[in-house]
Amino acid sequence: MFRKALLVFLAALSARLGAAGELTLEEGEALLRQFAPQHYRQMTLENARDCIDVSFENFLRALHNIKYPNGDPPPSLLDETDHRVWGGGDAAFLELHGPWEPAKRYVLLYYFHDWVLVASKDQGRTWEAVQDSGGFLSYCHSPDCDLGAGYLAQVDVDLDDTPEVVIGYGERDPRAGGEDLFIYAFRDGRLELISPGTQDEETDEFIRKCHGRNFWVTTELSSPFNRAFLDDVDRDNVAEVVVMPGLRDWDETIDGSWEEYSGSPGPRCRQCVEMDQPIRVYKLKNGKYQLWKEIDRREDFPFGYPALGVFHPGVVTYSQLKNGQGLGELRVFVSTPAIGWVERGPRMTVDDYDVGSFVVDFNGKPLKFRKKWENKRFPELGKGDQVVNGVWVYELLRKGCPPWEVNPAEVAYPHPDPCREYAFVGPYMEFSVRREDVADFILRSAEKRYRELETRKAQGAPLKGPEREVVFVQVDILGSLKNGKRVLVEALIGVKKDTSPQAPKAAAAK
């Protein structure tokens, strides 16, 4: 999905992170130990007879039945992304960033169902607890709930330069979604829950006594075994929250015989049937997320029609991106809108595009419409043999496996196999965009991709696909149909490093 607001924030956050001192893994673990809630410390002698030992060391070791030597945190605590997403199990931490004084630092400490916010006024030399969750965060929809993992991230959902905090359950990065999302605004040095939910009293005396919590906090942003996620649905630069219908197990009393359906007498599938629920969309109103609208789950492409795009030239070099050598405007070819595997409702074509509405998603720079191309190779929309991102295409061999390039008269989309391509089916549109509006983004994305490939190569991983010669960068383009519905274009361009000139041979010794 397209998240313009999130992309803008991430770019700004990356710049801030480069300048600020980041909490190390060792410092984070030390804070987790220092400020662990009472129920994660050694129980007092009075409670030892009634409460199990849930010291912090046992807390790290016992859950998931994984033994961590010397109390080391689980490997998923390690920062594996560019944007400082920490988490992945029993304990996690996230240093927060925002428009406060440089001497101040805030760290969110996460303990499975609890969190504690700590602050420092002296650049991290001393810390104090300023807030805790007050109750257990309730999530997970399975008897295996204790096997779940929570993750933390910052997202500036409304572009006010004070990023919100998202706690997600079930996926690696909560910005991409999770089964449950809790969203907090940072206000006056404290976290305020802005996602909808309820508080339920804890009636179990054992939990009240030994865990020190009297209520559970349950979120409305919950999709059992599916996901809730952030997306700027209405293009107002404020992220909405989309909650998909939950998933359930196959039930023969409702769904019929599993053996007849699957042709196998084996066990029925689990978490595979979409519940009969609408897609819920929550909008930020007066500082809180509120239910905005519900959408029939059977509606095709409820948040916009995907389309494929390719740039021409199909491959550019670092120097062309930096200096504009040989580049003025870049041409962009856009396919017909998606129709999906099973077509329901009217079929949209390129004639349904509002050609004046297309913009680069991450910065809003406009594309200029050039012309409509008739597809002489595959003129009929229904004659594709593959579907890519919902769009019908025709898979072809590339004779001789030449270097990637785009032929405006026979446009195709890159295939993972460099000797194949996905040919556009039906008419397509040509737009153009100024080089300077996308060059820096393409260059930075390519440099990052090359670094990833170099890391894989150093680890002995074979390089497959077109990335053996070039790396492909996706530039998201946003447009509209004439009926007002969004068009979400994934446009690819290849990037390669400049060929280094060969050094002159040394003069032969006389």
pLDDT, tens only, 290-310? 999 999 887 778 888 999 999
In this structure, what is the dihedral angle of CA atoms 268, 271, 273, 278, given to the nearest 10 degrees?
160
Region 2-9 average pLDDT: 42
Residue with the larger pLDDT of the pair 465 and 256: 256
Which two structure tokens, joined as six digits, stand for 121?
A: 């006024």
Please tell me the distance from the alpha carbon of residue 238 to that of residue 135, in angstroms, as a whole number: 29
pLDDT digits (tens, 9 = 90+) for 128-161: 999 998 888 877 555 544 444 567 888 889 888 8
**Residue 211's pLDDT is what?**
60
Which two structure tokens, joined as six digits, stand for 422?
A: 């996905």
The region of weakest confidence among 143-157, 160-174, 428-442 is 143-157
Q: Where are the domains of the chain?
A: 4-295, 305-496
Which two structure tokens, joined as six digits, stand for 302?
A: 């409820």
Region 399-410 average pLDDT: 93
- Cβ contacts of 247 within 8 Å, gap of 6 or more: 224, 225, 226, 271, 272, 273, 274, 275
pLDDT at 343 over 90: no
**Residue 345's pLDDT is what?**
57
Region 400-413 average pLDDT: 94
**CA of residue 471 relative to chain centroid, distance:** 20
Question: Distance of CA 321 to CAs 414, 443, 500, Å?
Answer: 20, 6, 16
Pairing of strands 353-360, 412-414: unpaired
At residue 1 the predicted structure's pLDDT band, cuts being 50, 70 and 90, is: very low
At residue 110 the predicted structure's pLDDT band, cuts being 50, 70 and 90, is: confident
**Residue 142's pLDDT is what?**
53
The secondary structure of 93-158, three-state, reads EEEECCCCCCCCEEEEEEECCEEEEEEECCCCCCCEEEEECCCEEECCCCCCHHHCCEEEEEECCC
At residue 509 the predicted structure's pLDDT band, cuts being 50, 70 and 90, is: very low
What are φ and ψ of residue 465, in 5° steps?
80, -170
pLDDT at 88 over 90: no
Return the closest-CA partner of residue 472 out of 432, 421, 407, 425: 421
Please tell me the distance from the alpha carbon of residue 143 to that of residue 138, in angstroms, as a whole number: 14
pTM for the model:
0.66
| Mean per-residue pLDDT over the chain, rounded | 78
**Residue 272's pLDDT is what?**
82
Percent helix / strand / coil, the chain, rounded to 5: 20, 35, 45
Region 271-298 average pLDDT: 91
Question: Distance of CA 122 to CAs 37, 104, 140, Å?
Answer: 24, 6, 38
Residue with the larger pLDDT of the pair 145 and 199: 199
